[in-house]
Structure 1
Amino acid sequence: MTIHYEESGKGYPVILIHGYGETHHIWATYQERLSTKYRVLTPDLPGFGQSDPLPYDLSLDMVANSIYDWLKKKNISECIIIGHSLGGYVTLEIAKKFPNIISGIGLLHSSAFSDSDEKKIGREKSIEFIQKHGVEKFIESFVPMLFNENTRDQHQKTIQMLIEEGKKIPEKTMTDYMLAMRDRSDNIDLLKEFEKPLLFIFGEEDSSIPLAKSKEQIKYMQHPYLKSLPETGHMGMFEKEEEVYSTIAKFIEVTLK
């Protein structure tokens, strides 16, 4: 299978992984800015964007394997990986299975907890909606809710861009990943044992990952580099672009010292 990606810059490899219903395009600005110092790669996860779907049953474990294999093909033996939401789940799986390739990880609006029973029910309802109404209808309702409702209007251009990108994603990819997120394992033990630098950025108004859940994770982290984003939903890389960029840039700099 082929993993589609964009690559720019030279130096230490930094991998940026997109979230659910997204593609590598969410990182365009970050890639452009970070690539002045680093080798920045932004893959499309299997089935998203221009990447081939997995040829077997999809699980986050298998997605992690596919990204690891892609990194090996790119002759990357050590890197920093930063993931948004679903991308964070994949990042945690890579860190758990292939720790030697990791020098630091970043979780942006993501979680090491497995889904609660309530969250699992929500995933199942989303699958039913997608199967009944299609990806386009789902994306049109899904994307705006990721942004803080009080600042949603000022991000309409970005929201439309994300909707247009999301509409192109195959239905099977959307439902398979929803199941994979529902069934993912708890990675709190990994947080407890992870001794390398860890970036954790969270939105205080994130309806996907409640603030209490974000704060609860912090106590398990050994060496966290933290950034709390007030008045921010699940899309801090757009809602608070400058703050998120500067935090990521500083984290990379500190990690590589």
Structure 2
Amino acid sequence: MGDVHLTEQGSGTPLVLLHAYPVDSRMWDGVRGPLAERVRLITPDQRGLGRSPLGQAPPDLDVVAEDLLRDLDRLGVQRFVLGGCSMGGYVAMAVLRRAAERVTGLVLADTKAVADTEQARAGRLAVAERAESEGTAGWLADSFLPNGVGTTTAEQRPEVVSALRELIESQPPSGVAWAQRAMAARPDSTELLAAVDVPVLAVVGAEDALMSPEVVGGLVPGATFAVLPGCGHLPPLEDPAAFARTVLDWLPG
């Protein structure tokens, strides 16, 4: 496959941010400005999503981790702060399994360490099959949005809901299916995160219907924990100013 598409701006400490499902790195657009004033911000599109080609690899988040590490090598980035929202958090855990010595800090937003239950796995595989057989127009956004944003966003930020719908609708069905199968196959990362010995920021939207504050707050013993009011599952989209401020206040160095 060709190179993964990524966006890079700013200078200083490299901060890699990995996007959620079912969107791409444009979910970080609202936080780029403030973050890039302090860091070298790197935001890739996961293979098959956004502007990254899917390639032929079987669905596996370890493949996504390898994509990222290869691109960071190409950019000359040896050590970096790593962040991920939801699926991006799962990818961050895959990176830790392969190259923990390169990660100097960790931001985990609205994500969890445990593997899927059998019911959750079956649900992901059903979505993958539907995406491949029907495409994703209409139904994918309709099914994600009620739980994908918080009540405050749904009621008071129609522009966010509209932008998120547009992001979801723009994703290739093949990439959506690949991502769902890769997430369904991911291992439990509880012990992995318990052994992390770099600074960690765990962030969750107070209105997240998919990941409870207790789940996110308990990811890493000793982590800095932040709950963002008025946000659901995607704080960088719902309240970018609050998310960027939280990251910058925590950022090591």
* TM-score normalized by the length of structure 2: 0.92
Report whether the alignment pairs 1:63 with 2:28. no
Distance 1:125 1:211, change over 3 A: farther
Runs of at least 4 residues off by over 6 Å: none
Q: Give the structure 2 partner of residue 193 of structure 1.
A: 195
Show the counterpart of 1:126.
127
Structure with more relative contact order (C-alpha pairs < 8 Å, separation 6 or more): 2
Equivalent runs, 1:23-62 vs 2, <5 Å: 23-62=24-63
Q: Deviations over 1:94-139 (max 9, x none)?
A: 0121012100111111111111233223223323442454211233
Q: SS of the counterpart of 2:8? A: strand
Whether the 8 Å contact between 1:195 and 1:223 is mirrored in structure 2 is: no
Match of 1:153 in 2: 155
Shift of 1:29: 2.2
C-alpha distance 28-226 of structure 1, shift in aligned 2 (>3 A): same
Match of 1:202 among 198, 201, 204: 204
Question: For structure 1, which runs of at least 5 residues remain unmatched after alignment?
Answer: none
Secondary structure at the aligned position of 1:98 is classed as helix
Gaps (5+ residues) in structure 2?
none
1:225 aligns with 2:227: no
Equivalent pair of 1:82/1:105 in contact (CA under 8 Å): yes
d(CA) in 2 for partners of 1:209 and 1:29? 22
Structure 1 CA distance for aligned equivalents of residues 6 and 206 of structure 2? 31
Q: How many residues align?
A: 251
Kept after mapping to 1: 8 A contact 2:151/2:230:
no
**TM, length-normalised to structure 1:** 0.90
2:14 is aligned with what amino acid? P
Q: Could you say what secondary structure the match of 2:101 adopts?
A: helix
Question: Aligned with 2:161: secondary structure?
Answer: helix
Provide the identity percentage: 23
Equivalent-residue separation in structure 2 for 1:61 and 1:150 (angstroms): 35
The corresponding residue for 2:99 is 98
Instruction: Give runs of aligned pairs for residues 146-185 of structure 1, distance below 5 A.
Output: 146-185=148-187
Aligned to 2:5: 4
Please report how far the alpha carbon of residue 3 of structure 1 lies from its aligned counterpart in structure 2 after TM superposition: 1.3
Return closer, same or farther for 1:241/1:30 CA change in 2, 3 Å cut-off.
closer
